[in-house]
Amino acid sequence: MSAHVDRNKIPRSYREYLALMKDMGELVEIDDEVDWNLEMGAIFRHAAETCAPMPVFNHVKDAAPGFRAADWGMGKSGHPTQPWRRLSAMLGLPPETPLMEIQAAYIEAKENGRSYPPNVVDASAAPCKQNKWTGDQIDLNKIPAPLAHDGDGGRYLQTAGLNIAQTPDGKWTNWSTNRAMILDAQTMTGQWWPKQHNGMIWKMWRDEGKDMPWACALGVSPVASTQAASRIPAWVDEYDMASALLGAPLDMVKCETNDILVPADAEIIIEGVIEYGTQEPEGPFGEYPGYLPDETTIFPRQKVTCVTFRDQPILPMSIPGVPIDNCHVTMGFFISSDSVITLQKAGLPIIDGMYLFEAAILWFVIRVPKDWHDRTGWTLDDFMNRLGNTFWTDHVGDTVTKILVVDEDIDPSDVKEVVWAFASRNHPTFTTYLFPELRAFGDGIESYHTTRELSEDKGTSLVIYACLENADRVGRPEKRVMSFTENYPEPVKQKVLDNWERWGFGDGAASR
């Protein structure tokens, strides 16, 4: 690994990150009035699907004066040689850093850093407290939340912020990114799934028959965003991981109507309670597999008691759909990084791995060393069964139902290499492994689930595709790969590269 996180270069706020994106040519400000009813979503989706710069909406129909909205960030760039520069900039890395090196640097910084207690600041020093709505002043419809997709059940205010919840005993504070839609001027509803950490905490309050204090921080710093998108273990605070990544304490401030601490540099803070005994229909909402779900879900009502916000506040947005957009990159990169950590700590011979963005993060591609058998003494069956039973019984395995295991010569982030390895190295019978006894299910919003799976909340579709060349040829010569990189002597390759541009091919290096 050659890249290392430069903590001094990590943007300290969402606003600072957007300014950096503007300087890098990765941001376009739209000064025309844009309609929250589908027009914002159409602009966002077209920008994502063409790898165009991130849109910032400076004037949104019906929004309160000064309110703006913007792409959350971290999507794929259209830069010809730096596709992951929006992500690398969040972590203080050079813009040209390849995706797998970004992952290695991120894991190194996160695992080797130490956490710092929060720096709790006075409200007068917190940018998120510059303005305040209480009582009848609260009108969520004045925040520029979009009706993002044609078919959505409402305007989604929370797609890219932190839901913050704390256990009744105060021993665990969880940050998570879970969608939430506006019901009316002062109420919302969002997802609180029992298998997810925020749903686990809500259950604790529900078991006590109490409303749960809650806050939603919108437009937070990159280190906070990264941990809300992660899959760290239960009873571990995302704040601790964020401060370890930053290498410094985060400025935090207490809410106005409860005791929850929120990032002081956030753009907008929504605070209130999750109301005990309430049920509201939520959705549908177009999601990251690229489809609109068929049904609504039922979740509790979120009563808003206060809204605070910066001057000229910016609402971050993630409007998922077909790949690649910022939802695929944020979820895919950070969850896969935590998955690699989990698998390595379990003693599995894993180099790295990535949720393939082009596959709508429905494939987890894991790279293993060629000598995995010599290291472990395991058969391929042993290895794949250990892998499946480790991954799908851990919190990190909540979303993905398909794993592709590839040799170390395959870059897990390169869709061309992964497809080639899948097609040419996986045996559809002998190196394909099913796990029908495990209860992991995926998110349930994939397009392939049966009615029975959805009703029983139990999947039968967990599968590992071992794409390891010569799986039954231990000790025998490997087949030679017919590529420019692998098949030709170094002097021959160097001569080709030295003359490539002179011959009229341009300045790109030849590759498989």
Residue 453's CATH number: 3.40.1670.10
Of 273, 299, 317, which marks where a domain is finished? 317
Distance CA 379, CA 372 (A): 10
Torsion of CA 31, 32, 35, 39, to 10 degrees: -90
- Cα separations (Å) of 97 from 92, 101, 364, 366, 394? 11, 6, 21, 20, 30
Residue 385: inside a domain, yes or no? yes
20-24 long-range contacts (CB < 8 A, ≥24 apart) are 20/89, 21/53, 21/54, 21/73, 21/86, 21/89, 24/85, 24/89, 24/95
Instruction: Among 328-337, 357-366, 428-437, 442-451, name the one with the lowest average pLDDT.
Output: 442-451
Distance CA 197, CA 177 (A): 11
Are residues 137 and 215 part of one domain? Answer: yes
Are residues 486 and 463 part of one domain? Answer: no
228 is in an annotated binding site: yes
Residue 420: which pLDDT band, with cuts at 50, 70 and 90? very high
Residue 445: inside a domain, yes or no? yes
Residue 486: which pLDDT band, with cuts at 50, 70 and 90? confident
Distance CA 392, CA 381 (A): 16
Residue 341: inside a domain, yes or no? no
Residue 488: inside a domain, yes or no? yes
Instruction: Among 106-120, 218-232, 448-462, 496-510, name the one with the lowest average pLDDT.
Output: 448-462
Residue 170: inside a domain, yes or no? yes
What does the block give as tokens for 502?
Answer: 């002179």
Are residues 371 and 274 part of one domain? Answer: no
Q: Which helix (H) or strand (E) holds 316?
A: strand 314-317
Are residues 486 and 460 part of one domain? Answer: no
111 is in an annotated binding site: no
Residue 323: inside a domain, yes or no? no
What percent of the chain lies above the pLDDT cut of 90? 85
Are residues 408 and 448 part of one domain? Answer: yes
Q: What is the mean pLDDT of the chain?
A: 93
Are residues 266 and 379 part of one domain? Answer: no
Residue 511 scores a pLDDT above 70: no
Q: Which helix (H) or strand (E) holds 176?
A: strand 173-176
Do 72 and 323 contact (CB within 8 A), yes or no? no
Are residues 353 and 216 part of one domain? Answer: no
Q: Coil, strand, or helix at residue 69?
A: strand
Other Cβ atoms closer than 10 A to 295: 9
DSSP codes joined into one string, 245-274: HHTSPPEEEE-SSSS-EEETT-SEEEEEEE
CATH code: domain of residue 104: 2.30.110.10
What does the block give as tokens for 29?
Answer: 């400000």
Are residues 214 and 67 part of one domain? Answer: yes
Q: What is the pTM of this model?
A: 0.92
Distance CA 299, CA 280 (A): 6
Residue 512: which pLDDT band, with cuts at 50, 70 and 90? very low
Encode pLDDT of 130-186 as tens digits: 999 999 999 999 999 999 999 999 999 999 999 999 999 999 999 999 999 999 999
Are residues 449 and 403 part of one domain? Answer: yes
Residue 353 scores a pLDDT above 50: yes
What does the block give as tokens for 416?
Answer: 């061309």
Instruction: Among 95-104, 145-154, 446-455, name the one with the lowest average pLDDT.
Output: 446-455
79 is in an annotated binding site: no
What percent of the chain lies above the pLDDT cut of 70? 93
Domains contained in the chain, number: 3
Residue 130: inside a domain, yes or no? yes
Q: Provide the edge-to-edge strand list for the sheet that holds 27-34.
A: 27-34, 54-60, 68-71, 314-317
Active site residue 282: no
Are residues 374 and 306 part of one domain? Answer: no
Are residues 502 and 444 part of one domain? Answer: no
Domain that holds residue 488: 480-512
User: Of 282, 287, 417, 446, which residue is the catalytic one?
Assistant: 287
For the chain, how many residues are written? 512
Are residues 399 and 256 part of one domain? Answer: no
238 is in an annotated binding site: yes
59 is in an annotated binding site: no
- Cα separations (Å) of 318 from 210, 219, 292? 31, 12, 15
What is the pLDDT at residue 48? Answer: 95
Instruction: Among 141-145, 234-238, 484-488, 505-509, name the one with the lowest average pLDDT.
Output: 505-509
Residue 423: inside a domain, yes or no? yes
Other Cβ atoms closer than 10 A to 312: 14
